[in-house]
Amino acid sequence: MAEVEVWRGGVGSWECDQMGHLNVGFYVAKSMEALAGLAAELGMPGAFAANAEATLVVREQHIRFIKEARPGAPLTMTAGVIELGEADARLMLLMRHQDGELAASFQTLAAHATARDGRAFPWPDRIRAHAEALKVEIPANAAPRSIGLAPVETQASLARAEALGLVRTGLRVVDAQDCDAFGRMRTETFMHRLSDGIPHLFAGRRPGAADTGRKVGGAALEYRLIHHAWPRAGDRLELRSGLAGGDARFRRMIHWLLDPDTGRPWGSAEAIAVSFDLETRKLITLSDEELARVEGDAVKGLGL
């Protein structure tokens, strides 16, 4: 069966960043609206309502950013089920432009869980029947390209971040508006915080901008977000980030979202990003000199 439409909307100018396109945090926010639509198609129409007994808790997302979305762009999202486990599912969400071209894809690992405490429990037969009817294959241009999806045991901790000299790119507190109906930090807040921290990582030395006079921005091509725990209102967040290698065109970045009071990880992320010319909207290839500087900034052994 073809995937089913679960969301239809567009891009507001307030959702766009200094690069002139939809900010990554709002991509994830829209994917969460679409996830609610898919939950309804699975037979859980109130999964994200305050009175829900069961919900879907996102544990991981693999995201491909395929074609930028600019202010005013109309978008739709379709969805389906890649596979269903005992108490979790791998789901496919596809964001498309009006002409049908993919804007982004979201391969989402979600747990079927109790709404209040997030405890995973098995899918009932009625949802399994709906899921079977919504089975889809992963499109070739939505599959992982530069980021693997193998299970990882995170190395993220505040002590490890200090030892590696990772840059502090964020220090915040979770506000009530950052939380969902069950009091857990919203999935998209993680991505918003990563995006906010990028200028601190590059500290005015964005690759591709040196000695050219051109206006240079950055764009993410691929992301893997892993949630290790779910902060609540009043919890603090410290973001540590570092470069983990790359080449003349692509940079690999690692981000750890940490609890500065306990040192434990809330989440970790891997990203593939590029520099691009804000006027031509074309990708920039680094000079040998700039590539050497970027390589010199890379943190050896840095991972999720």
Each residue's pLDDT tens digit, 122-154: 999 999 999 999 999 999 999 999 999 999 999
> In the structure encoding, which two tokens stand for residue 123, read together?
């899918």
**What pLDDT does 250 receive?**
86
Q: Report how far residue 222's alpha carbon sits from residue 272's, in angstroms, rounded to the nearest whole number.
A: 5
pLDDT of 19 reads: 82
Type of residue numbered 206: R
- pLDDT at position 213 is 63
Residue 1's alpha-carbon distances to 59, 98, 258, in angstroms, are 26, 22, 41
CA-nearest of 210, 234, 235 to 288 is: 210
How far does the chain reach from its first CA to its final CA, in angstroms?
Answer: 35
Instruction: Quick: pLDDT tens for 241-286.
Output: 999 988 888 889 999 999 999 999 999 999 998 887 878 877 787 7
For residue 212, the model assigns a pLDDT of 58
**pLDDT value at position 290?**
77
Predicted pLDDT of residue 206: 59
Name the DSSP class of 120: B
The per-residue pLDDT for 269 is 97
Structural domains in the chain plus CATH codes: 1-143 (3.10.129.10), 147-304 (3.10.129.10)
Q: Which residues contact 191 (CB under 8 A, 6 or more apart)?
A: 24, 25, 27, 28, 223, 225
Question: In sequence order, what are the residues at sequence separation of 6 or more whose Cβ sits closer than 8 angstroms to the Cβ of residue 67?
Answer: 97, 101, 102, 103
Spans of the chain, pLDDT less than 70: 1-2, 204-214
Q: Which helix (H) or strand (E) holds 203?
A: none
Residue from 178, 194, 179, 48 nearest 110 by CA:
48
Closest CA relative to residue 287, chosen from 244, 243, 245, 247:
247
- Give, to the nearest 10 degrees, the angle between helix 24-41 and helix 187-202: 160
How confident is the model at residue 20, as a pLDDT?
Answer: 85
CA separation for the pair 22, 222 (Å, rounded): 15
Please tell me the distance from the alpha carbon of residue 163 to that of residue 140, in angstroms, as a whole number.
Answer: 39
**What backbone torsions phi and psi does residue 55 show, to the nearest 5 degrees?**
-145, -175
